[in-house]
Amino acid sequence: MRFARLRLNGFKSFVDPTDLVIHPGLTGVVGPNGCGKSNLLEALRWVMGENRPTAMRGGGMEDVIFAGAATRPARNFAEVALVIDNAERLAPAGFNEADQIEIVRRITRDAGSAYKVNTRDVRARDVQMLFADASTGSHSPALVRQGQISELINARPKSRRVILEEAAGISGLYQRRHEAELRLQATEGNLARIDDVVAAMA
């Protein structure tokens, strides 16, 4: 799986539709201060399912929508599309049926986010699991923000372990275990209620 294209529309400073081709190999983004380099990295995290507004340097998720400028009104929605080259068919099961995978996330004011994978409506969780199973995603250590290196050097061993687990591709398993535990708890609750009903009828 390789990132092939990133399309932005109304995302932060990228008010006009912008289409970036990501070539194989190392990609660098250069430009003057404030031109939107970090916004690009945030767009990548966001389309992969990032849900913490703080990770987007905002107070709420709608802050990713173009907020307007002296000469341009604010937009009502923001959309980011990430195209993945899957010619080698390395995508996780369930997403591996095509040579290209296009993930689209769109946020509309007062209506929240919606996701699509190859035009099919999916949940945020499906997108997050796709990337977790592929050992990448919005929390991936491959996406390095400013200041993150010094944070890593000063990190506690527990935080470093999270990075190693991500690299080992097991972070998706933690999410599944958590969901299985919640289902187990719900089932135990149902069993307890059945016991109560049976006891009441006896």
Q: What is the DSSP string of 28-74?
A: ----STTSSHHHHHHHHHHHTT---GGGGTSSSGGGGB---BTTBPP
Rule CB under 6 A: say whether 164 interacts with ligand ATP: no
Q: Which segments are annotated as binding site?
A: 32-39
Rule CB under 6 A: say whether 45 interacts with ligand ATP: no
68-79: b or e for each residue (b if 16 or more CB lie within 10 Å)? eeeeeeebebbb
Rule CB under 6 A: say whether 157 interacts with ligand ATP: no
Rule CB under 6 A: say whether 114 interacts with ligand ATP: no
Closer of 63 and 102 to ligand ATP (Cβ) = 63
**Token pair of 75, please?**
């937009």
Q: Which residues contact 41 (CB under 8 A, 6 or more apart)?
A: 29, 143, 145
- Which span sits near ligand ATP by CB under 6 A: 64-72, 84-92, 104-112, 191-199? 64-72
Rule CB under 6 A: say whether 116 interacts with ligand ATP: no
- Which span sits near ligand ATP by CB under 6 A: 59-67, 79-87, 89-97, 184-192? 59-67
Rule CB under 6 A: say whether 31 interacts with ligand ATP: yes
Distance in angstroms (rounded) separating the CA atoms of residues 122 and 103: 10
Rule CB under 6 A: say whether 12 interacts with ligand ATP: yes
Rule CB under 6 A: say whether 39 interacts with ligand ATP: yes
Closer of 48 and 65 to ligand ATP (Cβ) = 65
HSE value, Cβ hemisphere, 13 Å, CA-based, for 65: 17
With 0-12 CB in 10 A as exposed, 13-18 as middle and 19+ as buried, what is 91? middle
Residues engaged in binding ligand ATP (CB under 6 A): 12-13, 31, 33-39, 63, 65-67
